[in-house]
Chains A and B, each alone.
Chain A
Amino acid sequence: MEKLDKIEFKNKELQGLPLFLKRIYHNQLTNLDDEMKLFFYDENVQSSEMRESIPMRNICKLTTKD
């Protein structure tokens, strides 16, 4: 939660929209191509899976100049 940014619409901006859209949150995702490299087909579970359910290494690529 601590990494999420918030968007809050004013009441007037909600015209025609449901109230639950008043506050929505967002965060930046990891690079999808890098994330896909963590998936492999596991015969034991007959499915493509991430190597670790809670990956420990940082797979983010910086997208800003800093």
Chain B
Amino acid sequence: MILIFSIENEISTSDVMLRLKHYGEKVLRVNADDNVYKLQKITSDGIYFENTKENVIYNFLEAKSCWWRRTGLSKNNFLKNPARKELIFNEFDLSSFIYGSQSLLLGETRDLRNYIFQKIYENCKINIGNPWRYGLNKLTVLDIAKKYGLTIPAYEIVSNLNLIKKVNLPNKKFVSKAISDGVYYTLENQRFYSYTELHSKDDFSETEDIPVFPSLIMDLVDKKMEIRSFFLDGTFYSMAIFSQFNDQTKVDFRKYDKVRPNKCEPFKLPNGIEKKLKNVFNELKLNCGSVDILVDTKGDYVFLEINPVGQYGMTSQPCNYDLDNIIAKYLINGKTR
């Protein structure tokens, strides 16, 4: 039995499941955002979840391998009925004990989730992903990359726009990025997005005192190409993206040009760069993730970030890597080849 923790409508999870089905494997997919798997009990010899569609109970500790793709377990998996919002006893309104940001159930959910993943990961010799590494701290990862000898872009965090004209970045042009997650919000019938954006120090030369929330600004790397590399247990599957010839995509290739799409090709990172990246993954206790790298006009490799739960279909399809099949086979036998 193979366990996959994910969310609804996650296309890569589905593609891997179809491969596993083709190979005749029994797979359980646990989504954090549906109501299929409900925790029944935890005992000394098992963690039992009920599949409410099949009315079958499974002991998750019987799994031979596990892929934590995304989220996987939430309060949904611990409640059989809709969450209670009220708790009133005589004159006391105790509702905040069980609902809202102060809810005690949040802590219970967190510790239950951590324990369940810990036991499953101890039990499964073959596993992919790390449930404790959903969002990596971009600044910490840059520090780790630098520690292992990778080149990173010069950056500063400023708390006033009048500091930008004096920042110690090599170029006049720089980019702004979110330290954590950028904008991806839906309000009513509109969806809002943010990207890596280009600025110039000149745009702020006359700026007076404007205190801002601490903001990450990074030197603009004059790039020859960018690399998106999917990493799985020691092997890199890399793709070169020639985004620099198109004004729309040259700062952030996610501003896709559907009329003139960027050329993408399979790419082999130099062994030395792969070795340094493996050290970064090891320190982060990750055996899977997507790395973003730039190659500058001098040919130097500049590390940008690691996304532990990123989409890899965009690398797999243009480069014909068939990563869904590689992941499926890894879950079956623990090997990437």
A residues with a Cβ closer than 8 A to B are 1-2, 4, 11-12, 14-29, 31-32, 39, 42, 44-50, 53, 63
Contact = CB atoms under 8 A, between A and B. Distances in A.
Contacts, number: 116
A39 B14 CA distance: 14
Contacts of A12: 210
8 residue pairs, one from A and one from B, having the closest CB atoms = A19-B215, A45-B14, A46-B29, A18-B213, A19-B176, A1-B255, A18-B215, A26-B192
B52 to A, nearest CB: 12
Interface in B291-317: none
A47 to B, nearest CB: 5
30 contacts: A1-B248, A2-B259, A4-B193, A11-B203, A12-B210, A14-B161, A15-B211, A16-B211, A18-B178, A18-B179, A18-B215, A19-B216, A20-B182, A20-B194, A20-B197, A22-B197, A24-B183, A24-B192, A25-B192, A25-B193, A26-B190, A29-B189, A31-B189, A46-B17, A46-B29, A46-B36, A47-B10, A47-B29, A48-B8, A49-B11
Interface in B9-58: 9-11, 13-14, 17-18, 21, 27-29, 31, 34, 36
A14 B197 CA distance: 15
Interface in B169-212: 176-179, 182-183, 186, 189-195, 197, 199, 203-204, 207, 210-212
Contacts of B191: 26-27, 29
Nearest to A42: B14
Interface of B: 6, 8-11, 13-14, 17-18, 21, 27-29, 31, 34, 36, 158, 161, 176-179, 182-183, 186, 189-195, 197, 199, 203-204, 207, 210-217, 248, 255-259
Contacts of B193: 4, 24-26
B14 A15 contact: no
A4 B210 CA distance: 29
Contacts of A2: 257-259
Given A27-B191, A48-B34, A49-B9, A17 B29 contact: no
